[in-house]
Amino acid sequence: MVLGIILYEGADLAYNVVRLAYNGTTGVYNWWYQVEEHEKEEKHKETKEMIEELKKLNNRVKELEDALVDKKQDVAKTD
């Protein structure tokens, strides 16, 4: 039982050290070479996706409004 805890803590410690080293290295690299393109691309991509979704929703609302107008006209004709 103690051996399991020691192994688990050792693996956890190794993972966190590697993660910190990786994040630190990439941070220094991005700072040194002033790399910010990835963040800008993600924001731009996210914005494009949101715009496309809004266009789809607006088209759907327009279709539903047209369907309601047609239905009202059909009801008015039958009366």
pLDDT values of the chain reduced to their tens digit, one per residue, 79 residues: 899 999 999 999 999 999 999 999 999 998 898 877 767 777 788 899 999 999 999 999 999 999 999 888 888 887 6
Which pLDDT belongs to residue 73? 86
- Please give the model's pTM, rounded to 2 decimal places: 0.46
First CA to last CA distance, the chain: 83
CB neighbours of 29 closer than 8 A, spacing ≥ 6?
Answer: 35
Do the Cβ atoms of 36 and 42 come closer than 8 Å?
no
Indicate the domain borders of the chain.
1-35, 49-79
